[in-house]
Amino acid sequence: MPELPEVETTRRGLAPHVEGREINEVIVRQPRLRVPVPGDLVDRLVGARIGPLSRRAKYLLLPVEGAAPATLLWHLGMSGSLRIARLGEFPRKHDHVDLVLDDGAVLRYHDPRRFGFVDWLAGSVEGDSRLARLGPEPLAEAFDGERLFALSRRRRLAVKPFLMDSAVVVGVGNIYASEALFLAGIDPRRAAGRIAKERYHRLAAAVKEVLAAAITQGGTTLRDFVGGTGEPGYFKQRLNVYGRHGEPCRRCGGELRLVTLGQRASVFCARCQT
């Protein structure tokens, strides 16, 4: 599943190609996504101009400036990607939505599993129910060890699913939670409420370090993901634990173990993470 670094990589890759461009045509080949494509999307978008792209958690926000300014809310789901194609480039299977721009570029949405969506927000972005209850961005100053410690008190939930709770902090999915816990030396099975403040400060710093490195490397290509320009991410080459169960720990040489937490596979080193 595309996580925060993949979505941020997509935003950065698309921005130079779409910001300020006028939408000449909208092509919807498959409207039956996780959220059905709005039936009036074509009428709303043709002739509108795309403003500065932004990201909130794993959502891409494309403001459109027309007669009724609004925002396209895009989620890549499990296997979705947005990339730039050229007018006349034959669509592949699972290319579901095209925004044809005034310079001949095409913003093309590809999603084999159709778990993603594009939706129309006519009102305030902050008031949308999908965004209103989200926690802070992990790279923002509002996210730190003090927040993790305060929210974890008396919580029996294991620390890994606690860290992946979007009300605690957004965008820390399975891959990057596993990697951050390894860097911080914390066993993912440990109860969130039984971790000291000092260790939470290390964990918050590790989250920031892992995500910043992943964004620099263009994300982690595992199956379908490519960035906005069609290039894969390379952070997979730096993974310490995720997807490496049974292999030796890069730090101590011990065998990495696999457990299930919150219905998600979790790989860790029992020697380095306590």
Residue closest to 94 by CA, chosen among 41, 33, 39: 33
Task: Residue 238: give its domain's CATH number.
Answer: 1.10.8.50
pLDDT range class, residue 66, cuts 50, 70, 90 = confident
Q: Are residues 77 and 113 in the same domain?
A: yes
Task: Residue 79: give its domain's CATH number.
Answer: 3.20.190.10
Residue closest to 21 by CA, chosen among 128, 90, 102, 80: 102
Q: Are residues 160 and 45 in the same domain?
A: no
Selecting among 236, 250, 264, 271, the annotated active-site residue is 264
Quote the tokens at residue 37: 């494509």
- 58 is annotated as an active-site residue: yes
Which of 110, 132, 154 terminates a domain? The answer is: 132
What domain range includes position 184? 145-268
State the Cα–Cα distance between residues 35 and 128, nearest whole angstrom: 15
Averaged over 8-24, what is the pLDDT? 95
Domain count, the chain: 2
Q: Which residue has the higher pLDDT, 160 or 41?
A: 160
Selecting among 2, 5, 63, 188, the annotated active-site residue is 2
Residue 273: per-residue pLDDT: 98
pTM (two decimals): 0.86
Q: Is the pLDDT of residue 68 over 70?
A: no
Q: Are residues 211 and 264 in the same domain?
A: yes
Report if residue 138 sits inside a domain. no
Residue 146: per-residue pLDDT: 98
Which of 102, 132, 162 terminates a domain? The answer is: 132
Quote the tokens at residue 47: 């002739």
pLDDT range class, residue 240, cuts 50, 70, 90 = very high
Q: Are residues 125 and 150 in the same domain?
A: no
Taking only the tens place, the pLDDT of each residue in 166-225 is 999 999 999 999 999 999 999 999 999 999 999 999 999 999 999 999 888 875 543 443
Selecting among 44, 55, 58, 83, the annotated active-site residue is 58
Q: Are residues 222 and 201 in the same domain?
A: yes
Taking only the tens place, the pLDDT of each residue in 116-146 is 999 998 877 878 888 988 999 999 999 999 9
- 141 is annotated as an active-site residue: no
Q: Are residues 8 and 128 in the same domain?
A: yes
Q: Are residues 12 and 128 in the same domain?
A: yes
Selecting among 3, 6, 137, 179, the annotated active-site residue is 3
Q: Which residue has the higher pLDDT, 215 or 95?
A: 95
Residue 94, annotated as binding a ligand: yes
Report if residue 87 sits inside a domain. yes
Report if residue 139 sits inside a domain. no
Residue 222: per-residue pLDDT: 37
Averaged over 19-29, what is the pLDDT? 96
The crossing angle, in degrees rounded to 10, of helices 145-152 and 197-216 is 130
Q: Are residues 83 and 194 in the same domain?
A: no
In the chain, the percentage of residues whose pLDDT exceeds 90 is: 76
Averaged over 26-45, what is the pLDDT? 93
Residue 129: per-residue pLDDT: 87
Which of 132, 163, 186 terminates a domain? The answer is: 132
Taking only the tens place, the pLDDT of each residue in 74-89 is 999 988 999 999 988 9
Q: Is the pLDDT of residue 226 over 70?
A: no
State the Cα–Cα distance between residues 186 and 199, nearest whole angstrom: 8
- 3 is annotated as an active-site residue: yes
State the Cα–Cα distance between residues 50 and 21, nearest whole angstrom: 6
Q: Are residues 38 and 64 in the same domain?
A: yes
- 137 is annotated as an active-site residue: no
Residue 155, annotated as binding a ligand: yes
Alpha helix (H) residue ranges in the chain: 4-18, 41-45, 129-132, 145-152, 159-163, 174-184, 197-216
